[in-house]
Amino acid sequence: MQLAKEKVEIGFIGIGVMGKSMAGNLIKAGYKVNIYNRTKARAQELINNGAKWLDTVAEIANKSNVIITIVGYPKDVEEVYLGENGILNNAEKGTYLIDMTTSSPKLAQRVFQEALAKGMYALDAPVSGGDIGAREARLSIMVGGDQEAFENIKPIFEIMGKNIVLQGKAGSGQHTKMCNQIAIASNMIGVCEAIAYAKKTGLDPTTVLKSIEAGAAGSFSLSNLAPRMIAGNFEPGFYVKHFIKDMTIALDSAKEIGLWTPGLELAKSLYDKIAALGEEDSGTQALYKLLDK
């Protein structure tokens, strides 16, 4: 049974580049939203728009019956869910837990099992679409967990995204996101090389983009990130440091299943280089700087 909006109190943990827009869309849709972030200043706009600030993860867990998290790294997910003052030790039986962080499939499975033991419902639901997708509420949401819990929460997902698919059991959402990141990793190299090639040959990269983005080379990265490269805009829609984290998880997971991923290995090595040059807080399109010399 889907949850009636008037009976839902959402706790939202993680007000970053994407989380801020996602929580904002839930508020606009009329949901009651409690928020927590390590840096309160980042949440001020949401507070001004009607969100209720709570001082700790434990308070969020205690006062919300649907809890959404989108934090940085698997270690943050582990602390937020499994720590002494975390969600699982403070939420009530029957609470829905939705982790939208890109994290470890194994960790997602562990959270699911521990939640189940406490009578809670856990879904791993990482997203794709970057800052634009979050802002425009058209994220792709990849979900792992039980069918019934998914159906009950689906109206909330529909406020944040457009392409919402239950992929299978717990951890399946994270595995699907690894597929997504693997596909993006090699594609980003190609996009950067194409724009650099256009520039080096004396073409206008913007005009080149008009031709190639509508053909077989078309991709989200080409249409949305190549214009930023051309404009010299390297502000984060998605951080380099978080992409490196994702690729590390994907490489580890691929190794566990005995899969060779040479494209992913190359992309990770190039992003490590750009991070070492001080670009870890730039957007993923900053990879272009390695070629634009």
Strands (E), the chain: 9-13, 32-36, 52-53, 66-69, 96-99, 121-124, 127-128, 139-144, 161-168
Give, to the nearest 10 degrees, the angle between helix 240-256 and helix 262-274: 150
Q: Which long-range contacts (CB under 8 A, 24 or more apart) does 32-35 make?
A: 32/8, 34/9, 34/10, 34/59, 34/60, 34/63, 34/64, 35/11, 35/60
Rounded Cα gap, residues 267 and 244, in angstroms: 9
Q: Reply yes or no on whether 200 is catalytic.
A: no
Q: What share of the chain is helix, strand, coil (3-state, %, to 5)?
A: 55, 15, 30
Question: In Å, how far from its chain's centre is CA 267?
Answer: 19
Phi, psi dihedrals of residue 275, rounded to the nearest 5°: -65, -40
- Annotated active-site residue in 20, 177, 268, 289: 177
Instruction: Output DSSP code: residue 291.
Output: T
| Strand (E) or helix (H) holding 286 | none
Torsion of CA 200, 206, 211, 212, to 10 degrees: 70
User: Catalytic residue positions?
Assistant: 177
